[in-house]
Structure 1
Amino acid sequence: MFDILLNHNTLVLFGIIFFGIALGSIKIYGLNLGLSGVLFVALAAGHYRLAIPNGVGQLGLALFVYCVGLSAGNRFFSAIAKQGSKLAVMSAVIVGVSALFTCLFGIWFNVPAGISSGIFAGACTSTPALAAATESLPGASGSGVSIGYGIAYPFGVVGVVLFVQLLPRLLHFDLNKEAKAMHSRQEASIISRLVRVTQPNLVGQNIADCKLLDGLHCMVTRVVRNDRLMPLTPEDTFREGTEVLIVGNSDTMPHDIAFLGEICENPYPMDSQKERRKLILTNKSYAGRKLRELKTLRTDGVIISRVSRLGFTFVPTGDTTLERNDVLTVVGSPENLTKYGDKIGHRSQDMNQTDLLSLGFGLSMGIILGLVNFSFGNGLGISLGIAGGPLIVALLLGHFGRLGPIVGYIPRPTRLLLQDLGLVFFLADAGIKGGADLVTTVATHGAAVFIMGVIVTCSGMFAGYFVGMKVFKMNILECLGGICGGMTSTPALGAIASKTDSQAPVVSYATAYPVALILMTIIAKVIIQTIGGVVGV
């Protein structure tokens, strides 16, 4: 009976996930493995020749990187503009130092070029580098690439996971505090303030039609009427001493207050439960239009104070274009809110609904993109693979919100579930494969080859840390994400993501990863030429 259970691949998969998560939840001196515990259980299962369904690893990897791309997309391109060059240099240093130590120790330990290039690919957990090296050494020498990869890969995965978890603790970094500090420096928070109007040019102007408000970065949402903060109506006008509630960004709020008048502290009550709602925009004919054109206060008696798009919330201006699946925070009377919700096609169930058609199409396009081989001549070529293709497509969807009929919106709870599910699938598959021949390969080729893999992994990580923290003065979250990208380590990114809600590591990973992917694929062949000329293939 027990043998039957162990031969049931699907049961083994979920058993590994269960025991792995249980292991990951155990804390020792405040440190726990989190979802990465699945990898350790899978390594043990692989050693005992247990198996899981074929294709689970690729499915999990595609789901994980796709969800990562969607969450990072709205910040990715701005991050490239601000720190793209730094993260590219960081990736180049990580790959370059790893390759340098591979060549040095490969020649020192007299390790053939095939095994050495495999150790480089395994230590950096780079499947494209493995493919490039195997392609360069067909036949018996090519099998050496796989052996080297098998020796170095387990620590390549485990080492980076442990590094990104232990480093903040050893250096006394509180990731949540670092995330809050980084957020306060980079992103303005949304706040509201009560303002008394003293600007002479505003007096007598209708609030709904006032052109002077177009230059502000805030929204006027309520006015004091009968000692109570009430939603604006189309008839409200500015008068000397009129008190209004404005909603805006903390960094631009002082300018907006100075233009309108002066801040006041009168504690007026308001009914937020009945006079404010979150409505999702699904009406195709209403989407794609600018807020200034819609004139919601004049035509509908409501004000849109916030827009949430792909998990990012901001205060709109007249130039903001509304998109389908935007979640709008709307202020108005209960009657007007109901009418406006009907007008924009609001359905409460849509706020938590995932467009499976878009999910399937986006993943399919990403996988197809990953299969495309980009040739550089002289036999050099690269494909993005399962890890790269879906990531690029998701980043574009996350940035633009939609590409034709395909939307990039997945509700946050669903996205996090798919992301974690994909990660544990991938970890289970990686552990099963890495554990199967770990003991045998180390016993056959000696501990020196395993130590070589450990050194290659550690040298790249420490070089990345030095460049990120000491040279470029990055925040620890950005640095750790860049190290994960430079080492092409998806499990390590999952380990960081489980420790903080900040998107900084995800954005850095997504920026550094493509650079590392390309460099590793090219350098794997350079390693073969370098060591092959001294030791042989």
Structure 2
Amino acid sequence: MTIDFFQLFSANSVLVVFTIIAIGYVIGNVKIGQFEIGITGGVLLCALVFGHFGFQIDPIVQSIGFTLFIYSVGWQAGPQIINVLRQDGLSYLTIALFMSLGSFALVVGLALVVDLENALAAGLMAGALTSTPTLVGAQNAVEAGLVPIPAGSTSEAIIESISVGYAITYIFGTVGLLLLVKLLPSLLKIDLVEKAQDFAKERGFVAEDSAKEAERPILRAYEVPSVDYEKKTVAQASSDFLSQYQDYGAIYKLKRGNDIIDVSPDTTLEPGDKLAFFCSPKLHEKIREEMKLGREVLDEDLVDAVVDVVEVVVNSSFAVGQTIGQLAIQQEHGCRLTRLTRSQIEMPLSPSTRVQRGDVMYLTGERAALQQLVSILGVEERAAVETDLLTFAAGIVVGLFIGQITVRIGGIDVGIGNAGGLLVSGIAVGFLRANRPTFGRMPAAARFILMELGLLFFMVGVGLNAGGGIIEALGAVGPKLFLCGVVVTCIPLLVGYAFGRIVLNMNPALLLGALTGAMTSTPALGIVQQAAKSSVPSLGYAGTYALANVLLTALGTLIMLL
């Protein structure tokens, strides 16, 4: 039996899509030194090759991918749109606007100087900034009929030109940005480690050592010895040790005879008492040595507890705006915060890190204590084992309807298109969900797969569309388009850094994080954090990322309307 693979792939869009995604994942995970092009880049490269050999897919696949991705971008940005205006918010807002509008102006200027058509200019901006939302906005403007089609051309040809521009500039946009953020501190003779430490001290925290905080707590009980503890309070007994760590909450239970007694710093200890501690293994060892406790005891009343891990979406008016230190999770509830993420970016576990609406806290503790803590902080994400597809689908429907609304101005129908409508709807649903968690359930894993799969479906379509004409385009406009891409990748970052330092007086470590967020480059954030040996840059990244996604989508549409 003979299998014609070319015919098999030509007749089966599903086979083409998932083959490209699988191979793209392999390519994207290949590292050369510290650099890798990432999953999106790997899928794009693979799709370009398939497209060059004439393979195509049903257009509905790319449309579904576009819809899932751009709506998810809005949904993720929703809780952070208001938060970005809080602590350091004006600086983040200014950086996001400066970078987005500055990049847009630079691209428009270059297009005029080197005579690039709008489609290639849109692809240039999207690729040089590695901004998929810009690409989505530009292509959707064509598909929605917002862009006049020149005589002798077609919407398909314009979309192909956008994809070609994106493909030619994307690789340097990825690798070049990583190189630039890695070399910039050295070129400017900036000690990024020192600057991150300065910021940490200024805000009253040591940002790094979150790894030790992430150790899973365990429950152990010890006997209070007959010496040194006569009529001492818990605070007195632990003053030389636990008070340094603000860890009174690590004392889980106290048993005296057959009675369980509530523990507070003022509780008086008596010989023969049994103390149960809920803390990390390392802290157990130090507690026993420094508090001079007796033998370990196995008492069911003390150690028979259900220890659990929960994810909590912060949305309570009590928690929003408080610092981690003010929430006193360990001291008052005996639970431990092991991770804090914002827009899927991990934040420093520092007493001065301010909690925002929509943040996700990963907490470990005894189940009853966790339930009480969850009621104070927000809603338990783990309880949402099912995705509320009704709200998800309804939000998309509303967004698509919004995208169809147009206003006639001077005889021209003006609208925001499907991309703008889906963004608006996604932002609204995400914001409402963060404030009223009674609807719109979407666990983190569901959010990731919907957004990631939508992006990859879309990128497969982009690569296949561009693959057919990329060889000709490389010969015709490739060199000048590539050089323009280098300029658009480098100049906004350098000018943005100067603006942030001179005008906004931002800390370099925080500023570089904000700049990578404004350019929506998570790999670049990783390079900055590695250079700073700190998670401080993630604060800046989270501050600009959500707003930049929204702005760049709108600018992708706008550049096609010029």
Q: Could you state the TM-score of these two structures normalised by the residue count of structure 1?
A: 0.63
Distance 2:50 2:122 in 1: 23
Answer yes or no: is 1:26 the counterpart of 2:35.
no
Answer yes or no: is 1:508 the counterpart of 2:544.
yes
SS in 2 for 1:274: coil
Answer yes or no: is 1:413 the counterpart of 2:445.
yes
1:5-24 Cα distance to aligned partner (Å, 9 max, x none) = 22221111111111111222
Q: Residues 366 and 246 of structure 1: is their aligned pair in 2 closer, same or farther, counting only changes over 3 Å?
A: farther
1:54-101 Cα distance to aligned partner (Å, 9 max, x none) = 222232233334444555544443224411122101111110011111
Distance 1:498 1:66 in 2: 28
Question: Where does residue 118 of structure 1 map in the other structure?
Answer: 119
Question: Where does residue 434 of structure 1 map in the other structure?
Answer: 466
Distance 1:524 1:11 in 2: 33
Distance 1:496 1:121 in 2: 24
What letter is aligned with 2:147?
E
Q: Residues 69 and 315 of structure 1: is their aligned pair in 2 closer, same or farther, counting only changes over 3 Å?
A: farther
Distance 2:560 2:411 in 1: 15
Distance 1:85 1:76 in 2: 13
Contact 1:278 1:327 in 2 (8 A): yes
Answer yes or no: is 1:105 the counterpart of 2:114.
yes
Q: 2:67 aligns with which of 62, 68, 89?
A: 62
Question: Where does residue 424 of structure 1 map in the other structure?
Answer: 456
Question: Where does residue 356 of structure 1 map in the other structure?
Answer: 389
Contact 1:71 1:310 in 2 (8 A): no
Distance 2:198 2:250 in 1: 29
Question: Where does residue 44 of structure 2 map in the other structure?
Answer: 39
Q: Residues 281 and 25 of structure 1: is their aligned pair in 2 closer, same or farther, counting only changes over 3 Å?
A: closer
SS in 1 for 2:414: strand
SS in 2 for 1:49: coil
Contact 1:464 1:483 in 2 (8 A): no
Contact 2:305 2:366 in 1 (8 A): no
Answer yes or no: is 1:153 the counterpart of 2:166.
yes
Contact 2:119 2:161 in 1 (8 A): yes
Q: Residues 12 and 337 of structure 1: is their aligned pair in 2 closer, same or farther, counting only changes over 3 Å?
A: closer
1:85-125 Cα distance to aligned partner (Å, 9 max, x none) = 2210111111001111111111xxxxxxxx62222122123
Q: Residues 496 and 355 of structure 1: is their aligned pair in 2 closer, same or farther, counting only changes over 3 Å?
A: farther
Distance 1:218 1:147 in 2: 60
Q: Residues 441 and 454 of structure 1: is their aligned pair in 2 closer, same or farther, counting only changes over 3 Å?
A: closer
Question: Where does residue 470 of structure 1 map in the other structure?
Answer: 498
Q: Residues 434 and 518 of structure 1: is their aligned pair in 2 closer, same or farther, counting only changes over 3 Å?
A: same
Distance 1:376 1:496 in 2: 42
Question: Where does residue 241 of structure 2 map in the other structure?
Answer: none
After alignment, is 64-73 or 171-180 more displaced? 171-180
Answer yes or no: is 1:9 the counterpart of 2:13.
yes
SS in 2 for 1:475: helix
What letter is aligned with 1:225?
L
Distance 2:451 2:539 in 1: 14
Distance 1:177 1:356 in 2: 47
Deviation at 1:331, TM superposition (A): 4.5
Q: Residues 68 and 514 of structure 1: is their aligned pair in 2 closer, same or farther, counting only changes over 3 Å?
A: closer
1:482-529 Cα distance to aligned partner (Å, 9 max, x none) = 124xxxxxxx66887899995864652321233344445445554xxx
Query: Structure 2: which 5+ residue stretches go unaligned?
Result: 127-133, 218-232, 237-245, 279-288, 320-331, 501-505, 530-534
1:408-449 Cα distance to aligned partner (Å, 9 max, x none) = 543333333333322222221110111122224455xx3xx3
Question: Where does residue 291 of structure 2 map in the other structure?
Answer: 266
Distance 1:392 1:89 in 2: 22
Aligned residue pair count: 444
Q: Residues 505 and 373 of structure 1: is their aligned pair in 2 closer, same or farther, counting only changes over 3 Å?
A: farther
Distance 1:22 1:348 in 2: 32
Contact 2:234 2:268 in 1 (8 A): yes
Contact 1:280 1:328 in 2 (8 A): yes
Contact 2:404 2:415 in 1 (8 A): no
Deviation at 1:141, TM superposition (A): 6.8
SS in 1 for 2:519: helix
Question: Where does residue 281 of structure 2 map in the other structure?
Answer: none
Identity %: 21
SS in 2 for 1:401: helix
Distance 1:471 1:147 in 2: 36
SS in 2 for 1:381: strand
1:357-385 Cα distance to aligned partner (Å, 9 max, x none) = 33333444444444444677674734153
SS in 2 for 1:32: coil
Q: Could you state the TM-score of these two structures normalised by the residue count of structure 2?
A: 0.61
After alignment, is 353-362 or 9-18 more displaced? 353-362
1:17-39 Cα distance to aligned partner (Å, 9 max, x none) = 11111222222233222212110
Deviation at 1:46, TM superposition (A): 0.6
Q: 1:86 aligns with which of 81, 89, 95?
A: 95
Distance 1:431 1:56 in 2: 13
Deviation at 1:43, TM superposition (A): 0.5
Deviation at 1:460, TM superposition (A): 2.4
Distance 1:281 1:151 in 2: 43
After alignment, is 1-10 or 145-154 more displaced? 145-154
Contact 1:134 1:145 in 2 (8 A): no
Distance 1:384 1:29 in 2: 42
After alignment, is 138-147 or 430-439 more displaced? 138-147
Q: Residues 471 and 77 of structure 1: is their aligned pair in 2 closer, same or farther, counting only changes over 3 Å?
A: same
1:333-367 Cα distance to aligned partner (Å, 9 max, x none) = 7xx989999xxxx9997354433333333444444
Alignment of 1:332-351 (within 5 A): 350=383
Question: Where does residue 151 of structure 2 map in the other structure?
Answer: 139
Answer yes or no: is 1:385 the counterpart of 2:418.
yes
Contact 1:278 1:328 in 2 (8 A): yes
Q: Residues 149 and 92 of structure 1: is their aligned pair in 2 closer, same or farther, counting only changes over 3 Å?
A: same
Contact 1:482 1:508 in 2 (8 A): yes
Distance 1:39 1:406 in 2: 39
Question: Where does residue 96 of structure 1 map in the other structure?
Answer: 105
Query: Structure 1: which 5+ residue stretches go unaligned?
Result: 107-114, 199-216, 248-263, 292-301, 485-491, 527-537
What letter is aligned with 1:90?
M
After alignment, is 45-54 or 508-517 more displaced? 508-517
Distance 2:448 2:489 in 1: 27
After alignment, is 37-46 or 376-385 more displaced? 376-385
Distance 2:417 2:204 in 1: 32
Distance 1:70 1:96 in 2: 28
After superposition, the CA RMSD in angstroms is 5.5
